Amino acid sequence: MDVPAPNGGTVGVVLTRTSAGITALRVNCTHQGFPVGRVGAVLECELHGSQFNPETGAVINGPADRPLTRYDASETNGGIYVTVTTN
């Protein structure tokens, strides 16, 4: 899904429901910026196959060597709210 960014554009995020709530991760792989998508129980880059933990964004398999960017997310009254920062 796309959410508003501070610069007026949008940022693609992937949401995962966990026992602790909602996790929001930037949809772009940290290797070369291509999108990641769900493949089984992981998030996988479409280009080189880097895999990430969908709850934490941690790298499972490279070539990416940095976790996905994580954003604050909450669920209130049936709505999911994501706060995108410029950091």
Question: 67 with 57: CB under 8 angstroms?
Answer: yes
Whole-number pLDDT of residue 6: 64
Q: How many helices and strands in the chain, by DSSP H and E? A: 0, 9
**Residue 77, by phi and psi: left (phi above 0), alpha (psi -120 to 50) or beta?**
left
User: pTM of the prediction?
Assistant: 0.85
Domain 2-83 of CATH type 1.10.3720.10: no
pLDDT digits (tens, 9 = 90+) for 23-80: 999 999 999 989 999 999 999 999 999 999 999 999 999 999 999 999 999 989 989 9
How far is residue 22's CA from residue 64's CA, in Å, rounded to a whole number? 24
Residue ranges covered by each domain of the chain:
2-83
Whole-number pLDDT of residue 14: 93
Question: 71 with 82: CB under 8 angstroms?
Answer: yes
How far is residue 46's CA from residue 34's CA, in Å, rounded to a whole number? 7
pLDDT band at 18 (very low <50, low <70, confident <90, very high): confident
Whole-number pLDDT of residue 20: 85
